[in-house]
Amino acid sequence: MAVTLDTLQTEQKNTKTVNIDAVDSLRICQIINEEDATVAKAVQKCLPQVAAVIDAIVPRLLMGGRVVYTGAGTSGRLGILDASEIPPTFSAPPEQFVGLIAGGDHAIRNAVEGAEDSEELGQTDLEGLSPPLNKDDVLIGIASSGRTPYVLGGLKHAQAVGAVTVGLACVSPSALEECCDIVIECVTGPEVVTGSTRLKAGTATKMILNMISTGSQILIGKTFGNLMVDLKMSNEKLRDRARRVVRSIVPSTAALDVNNEEVLDDILAKCDGQVKLGILIATLGCSPEEGRKKLEASAGSLKKAMEVR
């Protein structure tokens, strides 16, 4: 598919913002806000495709596979941001969600000119993972323009090794259609500043990546209802949240009284800070070893583990 920059929706001139340099700061903010308000509706149109991505990811995560984001510039940074937030939020292993950016880690804070123009580099970076990208993984190529060579090169390599391939663009049609099992084309339209896809396109990208990662973690049992039960108690805010989560889930008829601060802290200490395990022990009165076995038998689902007597 021949895709030229001048035809992309993200590169068109926004007729609503042509005089943005002639208004005061409040009106600039209002204009940007008005344009941002259209993003959620654009994302809404893509929900079936986003759900299909989540459904493709879940069985692979359960088998030990990975989700790898790849992109250039803002797209790459947003992938890295999403991947970096999964371990502290859900106690996921750091290698489960991986973010790659054209130009390497230096490009997270600095522009690396020309890096996005190499299909070969997109393949090389995937081969450099440990282990290299393989059939158990899902590759999500992020390219607002839908044509970034670095991303296309990575997706073609992913196809060759049998990985699930997903393309995320903010235009339609896109070149991603030729090398992806699932394509999300979230058309956000002309930007406030022509071609500045860190704006509406970037916002849509973050919303969609949030859905993909959060949705997949929910489906593999990382929450209990809407509560984080696999968070890491790495600072005082999270330690306080962990205590509140335990108290809100453990029933009043539980084996142990978690309203007693000393009892609760002792439980969490015995569980090495594992909130999900602490809830199970407090509820059932079992040992940490027994609790771990119940969770393992329930594929990590706290709800299922609590039903096992």
Q: In the annotation, is 191 catalytic?
A: no
Q: In the annotation, is 34 catalytic?
A: no
Provide φ and ψ at 213, rounded to 5°. -70, -45
**Do 48 and 134 belong to one domain?**
yes
For the entire predicted model, the pTM comes to 0.91
- Choosing from 11, 34, 85, 95, the catalytic residue is 85
In sequence order, what are the beta bridge partners of 228? 223
If pLDDT is split at 50, 70 and 90, which confidence band does 1 have?
low
Domain extent, residue 302, equals 223-307
Nearest in space to 210 (alpha carbons), one of 218, 199, 198: 218
Residue 288 maps to which CATH number?
Answer: 1.10.8.1080
Residues 6+ apart with CB under 8 A from 216: 54, 57, 58, 61, 67
Cα-trace Rg, the chain: 22
- Choosing from 34, 35, 113, 116, the catalytic residue is 116
Domain ends where: 192, 220, 248? 220
* Average pLDDT of span 90-110: 95
Question: Which residue intervals of the chain are DSSP H helices?
Answer: 25-36, 39-44, 47-62, 73-90, 119-127, 149-161, 200-219, 236-249, 261-270, 275-284, 288-297, 302-307
**Do 165 and 48 belong to one domain?**
yes
Question: Which residue intervals of 162-235 are DSSP H helices?
Answer: 200-219
| Each residue's pLDDT tens digit, 127-183 | 999 999 999 999 999 999 999 999 999 999 999 999 999 999 999 999 999 999 999
- What per-residue confidence (pLDDT) applies to 166? 98
The answer to whether residues 137 and 66 touch, using CB atoms and an 8 Å cutoff, is: yes
In a domain, 269, yes or no: yes
In a domain, 9, yes or no: no
In a domain, 138, yes or no: yes
- What per-residue confidence (pLDDT) applies to 307? 82
In a domain, 108, yes or no: yes
Q: Is the pLDDT of residue 269 over 60?
A: yes
In a domain, 150, yes or no: yes
The phi-psi region of residue 189 (left if phi > 0; otherwise alpha if psi is between -120 and 50; otherwise beta) is left
If pLDDT is split at 50, 70 and 90, which confidence band does 3 have?
low
Winning range, highest mean pLDDT, from 28-37, 232-241, 262-271? 28-37
Burial 295-309 (b: 16+ CB within 10 A, else e): beebebbbeebbeee
DSSP 197: T
**Do 211 and 241 belong to one domain?**
no
**Do 192 and 54 belong to one domain?**
yes
Domain ends where: 203, 220, 237? 220
* Average pLDDT of span 254-278: 92
- What per-residue confidence (pLDDT) applies to 5? 72
| Each residue's pLDDT tens digit, 216-262 | 999 999 999 999 898 888 889 989 999 999 999 999 888 899 999 99
- What per-residue confidence (pLDDT) applies to 306? 87
Q: Which two tokens stand for residue 163?
A: 């990985």
Domain ends where: 189, 220, 251? 220
User: Per the omega criterion (within 30 degrees of 0), is the bond before 93 cis?
Assistant: no
Helix or strand (DSSP H, E) at 166: strand 164-169
If pLDDT is split at 50, 70 and 90, which confidence band does 2 have?
low
Q: Is the pLDDT of residue 94 over 70?
A: yes
Q: Is the pLDDT of residue 4 over 80?
A: no
**Do 168 and 277 belong to one domain?**
no
* Average pLDDT of span 116-125: 96
**Do 64 and 200 belong to one domain?**
yes
- What per-residue confidence (pLDDT) applies to 183? 98
Residue 31 maps to which CATH number?
Answer: 3.40.50.10490
How many domains is the chain partitioned into structurally? 2
DSSP 100: E
